[in-house]
A = this chain, B = another copy of it.
Amino acid sequence: MRQRKLILVTNDDGFQSQGIAQLAELMMPLGEVIIVAPEGGRSGTACSVSSTTTVRLTELSPRGDARVVSCSGTPVDCVKLALERVCPRQPDLVVSGINHGDNASISVHYSGTIGAVIEACMKGIPAIGYSLRTREKHCDFSPYANVIVRVAEHVLENGLPVDVCLNVNFPEVERLAGVRVARLARGKWSAEWASAHHPRGENHFWLTGYYTNLEPEATDTDYWALDQGYAAITPLKLDMTAHECLAALTGLNQDFPRERCNPQRS
């Protein structure tokens, strides 16, 4: 008898967010669902782990057939703990989101949603992050349901290449124009700090800022796709090596024969 597929659902907005409730519900027809998600908001926590504090798991009331476990740590902690201490077997798929806010372009580096996806990918599990370009806490996810489910089905059926995961971003539209497989746009955040006036007059700051797409003319980027009303699907890889730069740097190997590496002994 074939076992049902096991799907781990997590996010960085916390177990109580609307996005994860929607995502878990959409996954339920595809297999057994377990939700392990942060106790509260963990936006911008990237791939961070709790290295100096303990992390607590709390079993909550199930949603339908799905177990729900909250975690005091980061999204990456959620995935690491789910795999070792919660899931009865290795999941067939890890999905993260639906994030309230897009994770396109360089935002992948800051995103806790994507952090969880990268962690699952490191563990050899196909993983997908879903994010919606919105600033709202309450939003209508129904325009994206078909794509969310179909992409998850595609990955359950076909898997993903080794060390590759998917980043799916949606524009906030009533009707999607379609789907575009796209690369990450080059981008930049600017004017990132607002002064926060503390009564004692110390130097306190709030993170803010605006994003600039550095490739506004390119039609193969995730930002372009979102701007045109498409869902953007980007494969991400674990290997951050700039392979194309290795050859140019190898001169450094010769710069440092053993005797020049080490300080002179007098």
Q: Which B residues are CB-close (under 8 A) to A186?
A: 163, 238-239
Interface stretch among A2-10, A21-29, A130-138, A177-185? A177-185
Interface stretch among A40-48, A60-68, A92-100? A40-48
Assess A233 versus B252: contact at CB under 8 Å? Given A186-B163, A205-B55: yes
Assess A256 versus B239: contact at CB under 8 Å? Given A51-B44, A84-B193: no
**A55 near B192: Cβ-Cβ < 8 Å:** no
A257 lies within 8 A of chain B by Cβ: yes
Q: Which B residues are CB-close (under 8 A) to A145?
A: 263
For the complex, give the distance between the alpha carbons of A257 and B231 in Å: 11
Q: Which B residues are CB-close (under 8 A) to A246?
A: 181-183, 235
Nearest CB of B to A35, in Å: 16
Nearest CB of B to A133, in Å: 16
For the complex, give the distance between the alpha carbons of A103 and B73 in Å: 22
Nearest CB of B to A122, in Å: 6
A108 lies within 8 A of chain B by Cβ: yes
Q: Which B residues are CB-close (under 8 A) to A58?
A: 202-203
**B237 near A207: Cβ-Cβ < 8 Å:** no
Q: Which B residues are CB-close (under 8 A) to A182?
A: 246
A89 lies within 8 A of chain B by Cβ: no
Chain A residues 229 to 266 lying within 8 A of chain B, measured CB to CB, are 231, 233-243, 245-246, 248-250, 252-253, 255-258, 260-263
Nearest CB of B to A185, in Å: 10
A143 lies within 8 A of chain B by Cβ: yes
Q: Which B residues are CB-close (under 8 A) to A81?
A: 193, 205
Nearest CB of B to A72, in Å: 9
Nearest CB of B to A180, in Å: 6
Q: Which B residues are CB-close (under 8 A) to A249?
A: 181, 233, 235
